[in-house]
Amino acid sequence: MEISKAAQIIEKQITAAGYSIEYAKGLSGKVYPQTRRCFIPHILTRKSLYVACHQLSHVLGNVYMKGKSKHGLIEFRAEKFAHKRMKELGFSVPREMTERATKLVGRKIGRPKKRFLRLNLNRKKSVDDELQRIWAQQNKKDQEIKLEGFNF
């Protein structure tokens, strides 16, 4: 399948969900569910197709859960969906995009942990067992996600 045909399929699915498509510069994308707008890059390469697939996952609603899940978990599911959709369309996922996805999800998961530790380190001078136990209890869902290998 050609990239132009795949682009038409992705764009039809986005518009069928009731979203308007606006084109972003570069390899970035964003979905605004309140205003029903979706920013995707012009789909000319496999990388831009991958970004559009990622945004499609947010549009379809199987990933966007209105705050019920942690943001890192939502992004992990979106990346998983994008990999799956690329394979269904008959394209291989560029290695750079997989590495980029790994960094994105790792950053989304690590940011709250760093914030939590920073806030509690200001109150205590060292990280003790009690602080680590509290952190483990609050983030049981994050333990499901294994970034080693990032296999899809």
37, β-bridge pairs: 20, 32
Give tens-digit pLDDT for 79-124. Answer: 888 888 988 999 988 888 888 887 777 777 777 666 666 666 555 5
Q: Of residues 12 and 73, which shows the higher confidence score?
A: 12
CA angle 83, 63, 141 (to 5 degrees): 95
Q: Place 148 in a pLDDT band, splitting at 50, 70 and 90.
A: very low
Give tens-digit pLDDT for 118-142. Answer: 666 555 555 556 666 666 666 654 5
Asked whether the whole model's pTM tops 0.75, one would answer no
CA angle 139, 75, 85 (to 5 degrees): 135
Question: How many beta carbons lie within 10 A of that of residue 55, not counting itself?
Answer: 25
